[in-house]
Structure 1
């Protein structure tokens, strides 16, 4: 039995691992020259640049199953943030996991006593829920959810909006409250971490687990039919089952449904003489008129490769029509005026049009229902569930199990 996998992102690689465990030797066709999909890392002038500021939440259930955390040498970010308003800079954090945050959080004035209590009760409530139960919470936007829970306008403006806008890649918190609750639950159980060698270490580690899978790089697939796939160069190959671990529209002529909508972002990297945030903390820009959403200094943690000075990552999630030079100038102006950062040297910009899928979570099903089109064409990817690396791993695994049920196990 021959199985083809289209795409060597987290979903495709996870599916291949699961298929190998069931006795199959899948073949992966990857359009680019490396694995990873949306999770990649470049080395530029010695600096380690992830394609967009990304972190892994180490409490993700599927991440715990598929990754060897020790060999990844995960670098932990502190459970807090430094908030820049343009008028003052304050530090807030979770003192239950990092006690030195207690005094600055109380003095910051970002949240009232009632907000602290509401945070604690929400954490306890979500802690008792399973992931499946979280995704059955009554649907509404995150903004509506926070308002309904009684959080003050102050904490929403100064913390929730800038922090979760950077996660959801949209400035108005229109993302489903189910996604917010899931992420909030994961933050409560663990930490945001980055592998020492960058986020690309995640797919690289999955690749290293494959023993019998054949991978064809630089092999974009043009079309998928019931019994074969057709590459862009016209080559055709017959398969008993095909897993499309990427957007299936355009590959399968009869694939229905709406086109996948995406949140995009800009991530700009600068070389800096010094860090304005000394510890491994995310910097949040709480000025509603600013284009910059968050900043981070990757050199505040250990990296596999480093340049001679400090590295600064800047994320923009708001829509704009600026050219690259105009964007760089605007960002440098805001960094100097709001964050007190000057003397920067621009390194590279990543304009990521497809950074995070927009998913309607009102019908999200995490019970293992098969995602497929036609008789033997199966689907995987976080866009079918909810946008995260956990969903990408889960989707690949579920698709592999569906293929095994279809073809039969081969121990």
Structure 2
């Protein structure tokens, strides 16, 4: 059979599925991507509401991610750079802390900020230097403990942990107690130190769109839901059957494979609410952190503090909530607006849209950076992809998609399943 004649299906048009398709195309195959929604992107999506570009949750791209350097054209994304620091709202005051080695304007603000001791600030710089020298592979081989315990063992004070590390990394890890693996903390900290936090001018979906636009021989089946994946076919929700040689499941597989029914991934959730305001309380492109324990809001960011393709004429503010709550939307909106007023002196914000993201990040232990192509093989004709196989990051989504595709290619080119399928499809 010609490579282009193999029936290779990819379930899910998120980042890992799009990367898998790109790798397959690069090797001469022509896959079909089945996507339940109307667009590509998975969790990396944006909408346009009232002329504002709203990402599905406040998301940034870390430019130091190795896989993104390989698969994305940064220049075409028109990336807008955030400053390497944050403004902390606590006890009615604002203080800014950041990396003065990368932004000189943050030097005096950081030195005189009272969010931690001078010793804490020295340890932050020391940790930057340590992790820049440490290889990523070495980070993911270290003993795994909670991020909170790692910070305590490193000697950081309770004050700097409460005022900076907890609010900052809670917004990244989407949990408020820093229970996330210390491997992930070190990896993300290293990526922040080696590159920039950036946002595409046209919103985070531009990443997904760029990956899709690179595909030339991939077919898309949008608004198509899969009910079950079998060895040699895919059963759609409307009971249509699609004969397949190989399937890559680039989404959670537990509901699609009979023997995985009890192996569902646990997920972290969050709420992101967007508002338009008359003015900004943060003039520079910095993330605002609310360090007060009584605040439901974790962080805020003005998307109009950087260049954006949004055409609205007011400031665009995103507000992220990571703490668990049982509030309905009306109650949540009231609490968020009260927090904005009480802690950030933001009043009169006009609500645009809420994103309740129930599957924002996979909740994982024993985090890994790499996976071999053979490890993505669930069965001889079924492969898995997605960041839930490694760690919750865009980088991991790309690596897993690449490895799954390489596993498929190796299986086909080694002739491991060709004999049993050729007669059926000839």
Q: Same fold (TM over 0.5)?
A: yes
Equivalent residue number for residue 261 of structure 1: 266
- Residue of structure 2 aligned with 1:82, choices 87, 107, 112: 87
Rounded to whole Å, the distance in 2 between the matches of 1:95 and 1:360 is 33
Equivalent residue number for residue 329 of structure 1: 334
- Residue of structure 1 aligned with 2:282, choices 277, 284, 288: 277
SS at match of 1:360: coil
Q: Aligned pair 1:138/2:124, yes or no?
A: no
Deviations 1:200-243 (A, max 9, x none): 00010000110101111011111100011111111111111110
Equivalent residue number for residue 125 of structure 1: 130
Deviations 1:112-168 (A, max 9, x none): 222122222222221122221111111100000000010111110100000000000
SS at match of 2:347: coil
Rounded to whole Å, the distance in 2 between the matches of 1:365 and 1:25 is 26
SS at match of 2:242: strand
Equivalent residue number for residue 3 of structure 2: none
- Residue of structure 2 aligned with 1:204, choices 205, 209, 219: 209
Rounded to whole Å, the distance in 1 between the matches of 2:368 and 2:309 is 41
Equivalent residue number for residue 20 of structure 1: 25
Equivalent residue number for residue 251 of structure 2: 246
Q: Aligned pair 1:147/2:182, yes or no?
A: no
Task: Name the stretch that deviates more: 91-100 or 118-127.
Answer: 118-127
Rounded to whole Å, the distance in 2 between the matches of 1:365 and 1:188 is 21
Task: Name the stretch that deviates more: 385-394 or 365-374.
Answer: 365-374
Equivalent residue number for residue 48 of structure 1: 53
State the TM-score, normalized to the length of structure 2.
0.94
- Residue of structure 2 aligned with 1:61, choices 66, 71, 83: 66
Deviation at 1:344, TM superposition (A): 1.1
Rounded to whole Å, the distance in 2 between the matches of 1:192 and 1:345 is 27
Equivalent residue number for residue 375 of structure 1: 380
- Given that residues 370 and 399 in structure 2 are in contact (C-alpha distance below 8 angstroms), is that contact kept between their aligned partners in structure 1? no
Deviation at 1:367, TM superposition (A): 4.7
Rounded to whole Å, the distance in 2 between the matches of 1:110 and 1:267 is 26
| Corresponding pairs, count | 410
Q: Aligned pair 1:405/2:421, yes or no?
A: no
Q: Aligned pair 1:345/2:350, yes or no?
A: yes
Q: Aligned pair 1:163/2:165, yes or no?
A: no
Q: Aligned pair 1:315/2:306, yes or no?
A: no
Deviation at 1:369, TM superposition (A): 4.6
Rounded to whole Å, the distance in 2 between the matches of 1:176 and 1:317 is 17
- Given that residues 140 and 368 in structure 2 are in contact (C-alpha distance below 8 angstroms), is that contact kept between their aligned partners in structure 1? no
Rounded to whole Å, the distance in 2 between the matches of 1:240 and 1:31 is 21
Deviation at 1:371, TM superposition (A): 1.6
Equivalent residue number for residue 386 of structure 1: 391
Structure 1: tracts of 5 or more residues without a match:
none
Query: Alpha carbon RMSD of aligned pairs, Å?
Result: 1.4
Deviations 1:304-341 (A, max 9, x none): 12311111100000011111111111111111111000
State the TM-score, normalized to the length of structure 1.
0.97
- Given that residues 282 and 295 in structure 1 are in contact (C-alpha distance below 8 angstroms), is that contact kept between their aligned partners in structure 2? yes
**Which segments of structure 1 move beyond 4 Å, counting only runs of 4 or more?**
362-365
Q: Aligned pair 1:191/2:196, yes or no?
A: yes
- Given that residues 367 and 390 in structure 2 are in contact (C-alpha distance below 8 angstroms), is that contact kept between their aligned partners in structure 1? no
Equivalent residue number for residue 300 of structure 2: 295
